[in-house]
Structure 1
Amino acid sequence: MEMIPLEALPLIGIVTVLFNSEAVLPGFFESLAKQEGIRYKLYVIDNSPKDGGTLLSRELAARYGIDAIVHFNNANGGVAKGNNQGIALARADHCDYILLANNDTEFGSQTIRLLQDALVKDGESVATPKIMYYDKPNVIWYAGGHLNLWLARTLHHGQNERDSTYYATRCHVEYAPTCFLMLESGIFDLVGRMDEHFFVYYDDTDFMWRLKQKHVQTVFVPNARVYHKVSSSTGGSLSTFSIYYGNRNRILFVKKHIHGMRRFTALSYIFLGRIYYLTTCDRVTKTAIMRGIIHGLRSET
């Protein structure tokens, strides 16, 4: 089989956003260094309050010989804004494809090439891998997904199930998280970039819905595997940060995209669910829920 010269391969811009990410960066950079059959440039956007992640990223890029631009924002503008900064840099460098990648992920040497093949060889526009829990590598976190507009929920197929051949079929999916998502660079001309109103959470749901509205399909590539240290930068799904933005942004998504009876049903489902949690949770969690709901209702989309 004839080897393609590296300079003849398409250029992938890999965008990753940091927030106090020092603990996970070594594994992420080691995974990048192992990649085979691709040509890429890394764009690191650091939203952390201190520049430790910036300095470590530069050190690791030099150690592994990775071509990287590392930008320290000195402020947390949110993951959506950080992704947009990286996308702009990658497109300015004429990257053919863009991979949005959480740095709390690790992956094998062929993972990115398999996603690239789906776009280059198979003519797809957007590709997503199978995502497993890092600490439970045989248990699925994401194996495809869809949106339920009646409930304003994103559902991960196979979540918390052991991996099996049932989730081994390539197919088109309605929803994919942007923690590891590869796209043609020109897609952003069609649907726009990430909506920075969302800051973090539901920014990917909003983006995937806009792809669907423009009839852009996303292919699930099950033999490309990623291992995700879920919610490592936000304190976990039960942190007040996650609770606040989860509630706020779910309502923002409803206000932006859902109309008529489906909007009424989605908001009713959200509010009824919160009433239950408010009767059982502690005072700090109650405050986070209420602030999220109020700010979601008041915010412009």
Structure 2
Amino acid sequence: MAPRVTVVVPNWNTREFLRSCLQSLRRQTFQDFETVLVDSASTDGSVGFVEENFPEVRVIALDENQGFSGAVNAGIEASSAELVALLNNDTEQDAGWLDALVRAAERRPEAGLFASKLVDFGDRGRLDGAGDALRRSGLPYRLGHGEIDLGQFEEEEFVFGACAAAALYRRGVFDEVGLFDEDFFAYCEDGDVSFRAQLAGHRCLYVPGAVVYHVGSVSTGGKRSATATRLGTRNGMLLLVKNLPGSLAGGYLPFIVLGQLSRLLVVSLSPGGPRAHLEGLAGAWRLLPKMLKKRKGIQGARRVSDAYLRELLGRSSRRAAESRRRRIKDAVRARLR
């Protein structure tokens, strides 16, 4: 009999994080699950380490690095469970993490995606994320990111999407809207899935009791690396090309242009940032014909109204603005101490 949940853990040359991640999975109070580690041709002995120390984990060894999207897709396709959890290897989970997500899925049948409460791995009084938002600028935003945790995200709420560093999905969502887009490779691929799911009528629920401690961006050299900037810029544009309905695009276009200009200013603070940003835009242009073909199928399968999307995106943008203001206030207070 298949387990109720499959937990898919992608890995690429990050053996040093595996012990903590997999040991915390062993401590889960909910036990009707299997763990599938998908290794993207690591050269650091990750596969041997897992096979020796965690024999209960099913390992899928890929022949090449297919990025986050390719790795998690391999794990999803290997699963026959009704629920699929995605979990980054640079995480530790509270013992009740998976139980909280499964109970939420039982309680809220209208939701197809479930977002965890992400806490900064190194500073556990600070949040890493409480569900994902999409701003009017078209730029994704992780709610709560960088904020001091004062209990402001302790209530369940519907959000735009789930960060795939630690999220639960109903299998039926993937069956309907498709898997992660492997053209994205990494970054914003979870936002793309969330947007496709929302267009098809599947809501996303943030579950504050599902707590995970997250390092972040360990496979790409950090959140401000040139790789992260290039992929984030490219994929952020592709997410909009694929998913934003034409009936809404005109109203958002000025904000999207301003968003790209503001992003360029931010990345200019990092070495190589402006070049990586422009390379990302060029990469989006090269993939435009392919994405427009995908867009046709996505928009053709859309089940929700313009009014629903305006409300969803408007609320999402407001929540992102509130979160960003709190983060700035926290940073100012810290400097004044």
**Which band: TM-score by shorter chain?**
0.7 to 0.9
SS of 1:70 mapped into structure 2: strand
1:141 aligns with 2:134: no
Q: Could you tell me which residue of structure 2 aligns to residue 180 of structure 1?
A: 166
Q: What's the counterpart of residue 19 of structure 1?
A: 12
Query: Given the superposition, is the C-alpha separation of residues 280 and 186 from structure 1 closer, same or farther in structure 2, using an over 3 Å criterion?
Result: closer
1:271 CA displacement: 4.0
* TM-score for both structures, normalised by structure 1: 0.87
Paired position in structure 2 for 1:3: none
Distance 1:262 1:60 in 2: 54
Superposed displacement of residue 277, structure 1: 5.5
- How far off its partner does 1:126 sit? 2.4
Shift in Å at residue 212 of structure 1?
0.7
Letter in 2 for 1:136: D
**2:262 is matched with which residue?**
273
Identity %, equivalent residues:
24
Give me the whole-angstrom Cα distance separating, in 2, the residues matched to 1:157 and 1:228: 14
| Counterparts in 2 of 1:279 and 1:122: CA distance versus 1, 3 Å | closer
- Post-superposition shift, 1:267? 4.4
Equivalent pairs counted in the alignment come to: 285
| Alignment partner, residue 285 of structure 1 | 273
Give the superposition deviation at 1:205.
0.7
- With 196-205 and 271-280 compared, the bigger mean Cα shift is at 271-280
Query: Which residue of the other structure, out of 218, 232, 237, is the alignment partner of 2:218?
Result: 232
| Among 183, 189, 209, the residue aligned to 1:223 | 209
Q: From the superposition, tell whether residues 37 and 254 of structure 1 become closer, same or farther in structure 2 (CA, over 3 Å).
A: closer
* Mapped contact 2:115–2:130 kept (Cα < 8 A): no
Find the aligned partners of 2:282 and 2:107 in 1 and give their Cα distance: 47
User: Matched residues in 1 for 2:273 and 2:143: separation?
Assistant: 28
Q: Matched residues in 2 for 1:277 and 1:154: separation?
A: 15
Q: Which residue of 1 aligns with 2:35?
A: 42
Partner of 1:131: 118
Residues 127/37 of structure 1: CA separation in 2 closer, same or farther (3 Å cut): same
Q: Which residue of 1 aligns with 2:320?
A: none
Give 1:44-59 correspondences, 5 Å limit. Answer: 44-50=37-43, 52-59=45-52
Moved more, 18-27 or 68-77: 68-77
Residue of 173, 186, 211 corresponding to 1:200: 186
Give me the CA root mean square deviation.
2.1
Aligned residue for 1:176, secondary structure, equals: coil
Partner of 2:96: 110
CA contact (8 A) 1:96 1:184 kept: yes
1:130, 1:225 within 8 Å by CA — same for their partners in 2?
yes
Post-superposition Cα deviations, 1:153-192, rounded to whole Å, max 9, x if no partner, equal: 2222222222223211112111221111112212211211
Distance in 2, Cα, partners of 1:31 & 1:185: 24
State which of 68, 73, 78 in structure 1 corresponds to 2:67. 78
